Copies of this chain bind each other. A is one copy, B any other.
Amino acid sequence: MTLSRHDLLTIGQLAERSGLATSALRYYEKVGLIHATRTAGGQRRFERASLRRVAFVRAAQRVGLSLDEARAALDRLPQDRAPSTGEWSGAAAAWQHRIDQQIEELERLKRKLTGCIGCGCLSISRCALYNTDDRAGMAGPGARYLLTREPTTGPESRPPAG
């Protein structure tokens, strides 16, 4: 452990301890997720708090947040100290909600799937699996917008990213 004062980390050290590639960390810095000071020679030096931020981002990704969303959440937390309980629970509340939504969606899908195994129909017009029923839909001939998640303006509009 030959760290400079203040326990500054090189990008390699941060990579090793966070499990991310150095290229990913450089990318994270570029998009403003983490910040680095520079040595006289121009090399990055990270505060230990960056570890926390990186971990936060990775956790956010697991919940399904994009890096943009993670950054937005991070921006509401202090840069260089551990967040207070209040700050943290505020940032985490969004995740809770997100997780709950995702679980709910999956449960719904599972219920439908179970039902479908029983019927074996796979009929577009009848099968519950194909008709999300949280959409108005059905305005016209046939079941439209079967599995889209957002109101669309027409068949040529952009489906969910995946």
Which A residues are within 8 Å of any B CB, using their own CB? 1, 12, 15-24, 51-52, 55-56, 58-59, 61-63, 82-85, 87-89, 92, 95-96, 99-100, 102-103, 105-107, 109-110, 113-114, 116-124, 127, 129-130, 140-148, 152, 155-159, 162
**Nearest Cβ on chain B to A10's Cβ, whole angstroms:** 12
Query: Which of A16, A100, A147 neighbours the largest number of chain B CB atoms within 10 Å of its CB?
Result: A147
Q: Given the complex, which residues of B lie within 8 Å of A83, measured CB to CB? A: 120, 122
> Is the Cβ of B19 less than 8 Å from the Cβ of A146?
yes
> Is the Cβ of B109 less than 8 Å from the Cβ of A92?
no
> Is the Cβ of B129 less than 8 Å from the Cβ of A59?
yes
In the bound complex, CA of A102 to CA of B113 (Å): 15
Counting every copy of the chain, the complex holds 2
Q: Which 10 A-B pairs have the closest CB atoms?
A: A85-B120, A19-B145, A58-B147, A17-B142, A89-B117, A55-B130, A15-B155, A88-B120, A99-B110, A19-B146
Say whether, besides A22-B156, A82-B121, A155-B20, A107 and B103 are in contact (CB < 8 Å). Answer: yes
> Is the Cβ of B147 less than 8 Å from the Cβ of A62?
yes
> Is the Cβ of B106 less than 8 Å from the Cβ of A99?
yes
Task: Determine the residue in chain B with the shortest Cβ distance to A119.
Answer: B85
Task: Determine the residue in chain B with the shortest Cβ distance to A77.
Answer: B122
> Is the Cβ of A16 less than 8 Å from the Cβ of B110?
no
> Is the Cβ of B99 less than 8 Å from the Cβ of A51?
no
**Nearest Cβ on chain B to A143's Cβ, whole angstroms:** 7
In the bound complex, CA of A145 to CA of B24 (Å): 13
